[in-house]
A and B are shown apart, each in its own frame.
Chain A
Amino acid sequence: MANMISEEIIDYVGILAKLELSQAEKEEAKKDMGRMLDYIDKLNELDTSSTEPMSHIFSMNNVFREDIVTNGDNRDDILKNAPEQKEGAFKVPKTVE
């Protein structure tokens, strides 16, 4: 495998992706990601030095509209899905001391 994924990289990716991995999952992830990157490195065969990155197929223009509320008050509907709620708001663990 050309791409060796280190413990540090997997830990870093875990932080970015907000995932907690067991040691076994980490080992698996290192192997998987290394193999995928080896495969993705195939793209380096292409000379793209004079090609611009293309994010959208069609030319995209920002869509502007007046800042007017069009949907009704559906707070209660939305909160129905919350794992925990309190006084019309999402409840989360305490974050500020």
Chain B
Amino acid sequence: MSILELTALELGRKIKSGEVAVLEAVKASLDQIRKKEPAIHAYVTVDEQRAVKAAETVQKMIDNKMLTGPLAGVPVAVKDNLCTKDLLTTCSSNILYNFVPGYTAEAVSNLEKAGAVILGKTNMDEFAMGSTTETSAFGVTRNPWNPDHVPGGSSGGSCAAVASNECFYALGSDTGGSIRQPSSFCGVTGIKPTYGTVSRYGLIAYGSSLDQVGPIGKNVSDCAAVLEVISSYDKKDSTSVPRKDLDFTSALVNDVKGLRIGIPRDYLGEGLDDEVRQAVLDGAQTLKERGAVVEEFDLSLVEYAIPAYYVIASAEASSNLSRFDGVKYGLRAKEYEGLHQMYKKSRSEGFGPEVKRRIMLGAFVLSSGYYDAYYLKALRTKALIKQAFDKAFAEYDVILGPAAPTTAPRLGESLKDPLKMYLGDIYTISVNLAGLPAMTVPCGTDKRGLPIGLQLIGDCFQEKKIIRAGYTFEQTREGK
């Protein structure tokens, strides 16, 4: 078996025992990248020299027993909206085409301390705004299962890199489903943790009240191990939450006896592809056979999550993206008259159409005269959505449903109709509004061979319940 087929934890064990050298693993990944990138384009930047150098340093530290963690020496890919010191970080936008950060995001820094070797930065929708990775300024990423289809988004590069063995695991970010939906489309596992669990320091902000960094891997165990490493209380992120229950791998228990699982009827209705529905219900049946109590229930308010999300996320984006003005970093227009026109021209040349669309919508809903009707209305809706989840979690430990209504669409189909593309986020978006943890686990393929993902949602701080359910599901299916 090739090294590339190992999971991150399996590779970590072989590195620890001396059976595989770190450099050997890094070189295997770099060879695979060279082989696959012309067809997939999962990466914006690959830094071979940096990876080889890091491999040598990490190997020495493993040999000296200075690094003993389960991920030491394992190569990783990082989404290009996470700052990496001295390594190009573009957010897949022309406005940051040459930005080399002077510091590293806390989540990445936690990984590096645990001995991770960074291979490069992965492609994404520009500023994480999109569901297909097609809004990247540096070209589309293709789905490793079928190159005519999108990998999903916005963490499409990270998910495609994991699915094509171009890394052993990856980091992504999730504002409205950007880890869970591409994980579903690429047949990999991804976790969006409870808001505040992973520091947002160094994550280039899109919708600050919704953004969370999370792991993408080949299975639930890898994701739990990575989440355990990247989670930390960080004073540099004012919304970081101090938690004492970050030992997520302790939840890798193959048993769901008595676990109460609710399936929202609202997640199985109109718009859901029949094959996806069947695969998800089969997944629920698997957990039921293992002793979980599975019921359908009415979650309510599901159709209001998307409009509320686009108001809130766009409003926050219009504020967050005001920092890109051609002064401190990135693109500055070549010709302009005066400061004000320099701002306008730099931004107009630097941002793509989807980013402009959301910045304008955000500026509008925050403007005087419309603020109450749109922005405050959306925040009130958010409160109602949170209440609906609170009610559901009084009855259930885990909410189960699809991650997306369909499997991966064909390239070029989605951007023609942005509103329709937004509707594809219906099962993921409310989770961000309510700050909940959620995970996608592969649960089958459609008749065209495209992967389907099962979404497991937990109450705030209850990652362990979804990890246990996901792990049990995965182990049971592997055994079948």
Binding site for B on A (CB under 8 A): 9, 12-14, 16-21, 25, 29, 32-33, 35-37, 39-46, 48, 51-58, 60, 63, 65, 74, 77-78, 80-84, 90, 92-95
Contacts and interface: CB of A to CB of B under 8 A. Distances in A.
Nearest to A49: B380
A43 B381 contact: yes
B384 A48 contact: yes
A21 B345 CA distance: 9
Contacts of A19: 344, 347-348, 351, 356, 359-360
Classify chain B's interface size. Answer: 35 or more
A21 B349 CA distance: 10
A44 B377 contact: yes
Contacts of A77: 102
Interface of B: 98-100, 102-103, 195-196, 209, 235, 238-239, 241, 301, 303-304, 306-308, 310-311, 318, 322, 325-332, 336, 338-339, 341-345, 347-348, 351, 356-357, 359-364, 366-367, 374, 376-384, 386, 418-419, 434-435, 460
A78 B103 CA distance: 10
A9 B364 contact: yes
Q: Which 7 A-B pairs have the closest CB atoms?
A: A53-B379, A57-B435, A83-B332, A77-B102, A48-B380, A54-B383, A81-B329
Contact of A40 (B310, B332, B384, B418): B310
A83 B331 contact: yes
Contacts of B377: 43-44, 48
A20 B327 contact: no
A4 to B, nearest CB: 14
A32 B357 contact: yes
Given A13-B363, A83-B327, A93-B338, A39 B347 contact: no
A42 B380 contact: no
B322 A54 contact: no
A26 B419 CA distance: 18
A51 B356 CA distance: 32
Nearest to A81: B329
A92 B141 CA distance: 37
Contacts of B363: 13, 16-17
Given A19-B356, A65-B235, A81 B330 contact: yes
Contacts of B434: 57
A52 B380 contact: yes
Contact of B100 (A41, A45, A60, A80): A80
